[in-house]
Amino acid sequence: MSEHIVSRKIYFLIFGALMALTAITVFAAQIDYPNEAIGTVIALAIAVTKAVLVVLYFMHVRYSSRLTWVVIASGFLWLAIMIGLTMSDYLTRGWSALPGGR
């Protein structure tokens, strides 16, 4: 099995992109948004972008076999299922009355 050789230029470009996204994250955290959810969405979008860059290039998933892509995708699917189940529990907690009238 031959490995794909990634040039240093690509690594430096990805590193520069990660540093720029980190600076954008710091800048975005300083802004006072009218809605708290907007800041959260922006921070999560930047974080997901950085995570995708790390997984694709530094973990060499971009040039790997389709089986590796299936394993990575199934991991993210499992994460989405766990977050979905957790949020379904968390978001429905206010629907029932607590004992003691609280």
Range of the domain at 91: 65-96
pLDDT in tens, 27-74: 999 999 998 889 999 999 999 999 999 999 999 899 899 999 999 999
Note whether 88 and 55 are same-domain residues.
Answer: no
* Residues 59, 82: Cα–Cα separation, whole Å: 24
Cβ atoms < 10 Å from Cβ of 64: 15
Do 91 and 49 share a structural domain? no
Indicate the DSSP class of residue 31.
S
**CA–CA gap between residue 86 and residue 84 (Å, rounded):** 5
Is there a single domain that holds both residue 7 and residue 27?
A: yes
Phi/psi at 6 (5° precision): -100, 130
pLDDT at residue 36, as a whole number:
84
Number of domains in the chain: 2
Q: Which helix (H) or strand (E) holds 79?
A: helix 66-91
Q: Which of 59, 57, 28 is nearest to 45 (CA)?
A: 28
Could you tell me if 19 and 50 lie in one domain?
yes
pLDDT band of 18, cuts 50, 70, 90: very high
Q: Would you say residue 19 lies in a domain?
A: yes
Are 49 and 75 members of one domain?
no
By three-state DSSP, how is residue 6 classified?
coil
Considering the domain boundaries, does residue 101 fall inside one? Answer: no
Q: What is the pTM of this model?
A: 0.75
Do 38 and 81 belong to one domain? Answer: no
Closest CA to 57 of 18, 86, 99: 18
